[in-house]
């Protein structure tokens, strides 16, 4: 019975046909700039060269994944690729034109120049280039970013920086991540390098919390309770994780430090279920669902469980409270108060309750965008009847877009720190696994393959 209370709102589906809306929400989230970047493959001297495939793949992938630039295809690049600024040779006025004093003199090419990249067929506005080598026991990368639409090298240069890492594939990826982060920063972008994804996995035989890098690398267990550990939530500052655990019998909330891994004290009120916790933006309190009153309702408490206050008072099950990360003064949550589970919002004190989803189908797993204006969630309304799919909604207008369809069950979306990517769970590959995608549903990437993996959260 206790598992039914905890998971009952997360399963099932009711199909309701609807007409497709214009994708107005994701257009606001994913719109990028007008810049087109060219990133030719970098070369290296000595021992560093054997690691340049890893470097080139990582640099391209990081910049492309940010979806800020248009990527100029490598197939149209010039044959002469600069490795450093001195490789550029400005064109000269032809001697014949000087003699004739022509108003628009013909220019004579001396070697690689900015216009090789700004003119068709490349038609780039920016060029990232450089080279690597080994100094002592370190891999050294020299990286430049130029605005190739400028008339000369002095005005073109945006980045001129040296990066250091171990002489290894990991070192090559490290300097590539750092160079990509500097490029994105110039355009207001946020690098995902260093961010983590926490998720639930069965690969050790029981459900435990696992962690991995944003790109799926370095997957390893975080918990080892040898019981059900599920529904992780990470504080906004990335210092703490809360999750629901059955290690003591009834589902209860456990909080750990992500800096030390140690369990932090939290008093669970006496109930058949305490679950689905979420941190306030200052990481000093949590909201969660508890059946202490006999039916699952929403509560808020300090991190140690003190100063407990009840936020909702109804006869229907209410779970999955999520606090607006920008304002800290409103909550979205899942409730059955109007029939099938739907997503609602309310003030942090429990007032001004409003239903966000239409009442059709079943909706669950709300997750706030970092800007506090949008949510992602799973809903059975839409295309692909009977399955949960990922939607994005503007909370103020309640306009929404559907991101997935026709590819199995898709649920538990959460946003990346850059606000342009989503991580979610899907069984589209045959079993439930962790995937990422752009906020418009493109750029799908599968991150896990072993065991059953679900309920991901993305942390800075």
Strand partners, 165: 139
397 and 274 inside one domain: yes
Residue 130: its H or E element: strand 126-135
Cβ(366)–Cβ(374) below 8 Å: no
207 and 346 inside one domain: yes
173 and 306 inside one domain: no
Among 3-12, 208-217, 343-352, which stretch is predicted with the lowest mean pLDDT? 3-12
pLDDT bucket at 126, cuts 50 / 70 / 90? very high
Distance CA 62, CA 445 (A): 13
Domain hosting 382: range is 2-28+191-459
| CATH number of the domain to which 363 belongs | 2.120.10.30
148 and 237 inside one domain: no
211 and 353 inside one domain: yes
Task: Write the Ramachandran bin of 8: left for phi over 0, alpha for psi from -120 to 50, otherwise beta.
Answer: alpha
129 and 244 inside one domain: no
407 and 433 inside one domain: yes
Distance CA 30, CA 396 (A): 18
What does the pLDDT read at residue 105? Answer: 64
Which of 168, 185, 202 is a domain's end point?
Answer: 185
The closest alpha carbon to 23, from 375, 360, 368, 394, belongs to: 394
Residue 155 lies in a domain: yes
Which of 163, 185, 207 is a domain's end point?
Answer: 185
User: β-strands 400-402, 389-394: how paired?
Assistant: antiparallel
pLDDT bucket at 193, cuts 50 / 70 / 90? confident
| 98 pLDDT higher than 60 | no
Sign of CA dihedral 29, 35, 41, 44: negative
Cβ(87)–Cβ(42) below 8 Å: no
Among 106-120, 168-182, 332-346, 387-401, which stretch is predicted with the lowest mean pLDDT? 106-120
Residue 94 lies in a domain: yes
Give 204-246 pLDDT, tens digit per residue.
999 999 999 999 989 999 999 999 999 999 999 999 999 999 9
What does the pLDDT read at residue 104? Answer: 64
Mean pLDDT (the chain) is 90
Token pair in block for residue 422: 């989503």
Distance CA 186, CA 189 (A): 7
Residue 80 lies in a domain: yes
Which of 185, 216, 234 is a domain's end point?
Answer: 185
Residue 450 lies in a domain: yes
20 and 41 inside one domain: no
199 and 164 inside one domain: no
What does the pLDDT read at residue 139? Answer: 98
What does the pLDDT read at residue 190? Answer: 84
Q: How many structural domains compose the chain?
A: 2
313 and 433 inside one domain: yes
Residue 106 lies in a domain: no
What does the pLDDT read at residue 432? Answer: 98
323 and 351 inside one domain: yes
pLDDT bucket at 10, cuts 50 / 70 / 90? very low
| CATH number of the domain to which 137 belongs | 3.40.50.10070
Token pair in block for residue 173: 């990826």
pLDDT bucket at 312, cuts 50 / 70 / 90? very high
Residue 107 lies in a domain: no
The closest alpha carbon to 180, from 72, 22, 65, 96, belongs to: 65
Contacts 24+ apart (CB under 8 A), 8-11: 8/317, 9/317, 9/319, 9/320, 9/334, 9/336, 9/341, 9/362, 9/364, 10/364, 10/365, 10/411
Give 376-408 pLDDT, tens digit per residue.
999 998 767 679 999 999 999 999 999 999 999
């Amino acid at each position: 019975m206790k598992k039914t209370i905890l998971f009952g709102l997360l399963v099932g589906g009711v199909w309701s046909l609807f007409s497709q809306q214009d994708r107005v929400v994701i257009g606001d989230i994913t719109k990028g700039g007008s810049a087109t970047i060219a990133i030719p493959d970098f070369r290296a001297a000595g021992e560093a060269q054997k690691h340049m495939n890893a470097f080139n793949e990582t640099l391209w992938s990081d910049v492309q994944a940010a979806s800020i630039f248009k990527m100029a295809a490598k197939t149209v690049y010039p044959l002469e690729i600069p490795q450093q600024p001195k490789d550029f040779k400005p064109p000269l006025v032809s001697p014949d034109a000087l003699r004739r004093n022509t108003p628009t003199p013909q220019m004579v090419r001396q070697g690689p120049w900015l216009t090789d990249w700004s003119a068709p067929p490349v038609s780039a506005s920016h060029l990232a280039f450089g080279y690597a080598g080994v100094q002592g026991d370190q891999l050294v990368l020299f990286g430049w970013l130029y605005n190739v639409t400028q008339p000369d090298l002095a005005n073109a240069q945006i980045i001129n920086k040296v990066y250091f890492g171990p002489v290894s594939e990991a070192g090559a990826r490290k300097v590539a991540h750092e160079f990509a982060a500097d490029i994105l920063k110039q355009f207001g972008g946020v690098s995902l390098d260093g961010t983590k994804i926490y998720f639930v996995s069965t690969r050790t035989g029981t459900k435990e919390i696992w962690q991995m890098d944003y790109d799926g690398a370095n997957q390893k267990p975080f918990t080892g309770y040898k019981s059900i550990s599920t529904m992780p939530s990470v504080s906004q500052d990335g210092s703490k994780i809360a999750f629901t655990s059955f290690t003591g019998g009834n589902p209860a909330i456990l909080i750990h430090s992500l800096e030390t891994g140690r369990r932090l004290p939290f008093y669970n009120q006496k109930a058949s279920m305490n679950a689905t916790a979420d941190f306030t933006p200052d990481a000093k309190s949590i909201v969660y669902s508890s059946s202490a009153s006999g039916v699952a309702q929403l509560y808020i408490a300090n991190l140690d469980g003190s100063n407990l206050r009840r936020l909702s008072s109804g006869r229907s099950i209410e779970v999955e409270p999520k606090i607006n990360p920008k304002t800290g003064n409103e909550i979205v949550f899942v409730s059955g108060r109007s029939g099938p589970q739907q997503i609602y919002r309310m003030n942090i004190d429990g007032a001004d309750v409003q239903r966000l989803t239409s009442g059709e189908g079943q909706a669950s797993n709300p997750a706030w965008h970092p800007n506090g204006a949008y949510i992602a969630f799973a809903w059975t309304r839409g295309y692909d009847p009977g399955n949960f799919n990922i939607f994005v909604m503007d909370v103020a207008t309640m306009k929404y877009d559907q991101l997935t369809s026709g590819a199995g069950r898709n649920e538990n979306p959460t946003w990346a720190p850059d606000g342009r990517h989503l991580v979610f769970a899907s069984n589209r590959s045959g079993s439930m696994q962790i995937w990422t995608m752009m906020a418009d549903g493109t750029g799908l990437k599968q991150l896990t393959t072993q065991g059953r993996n679900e309920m991901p959260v993305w942390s800075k």
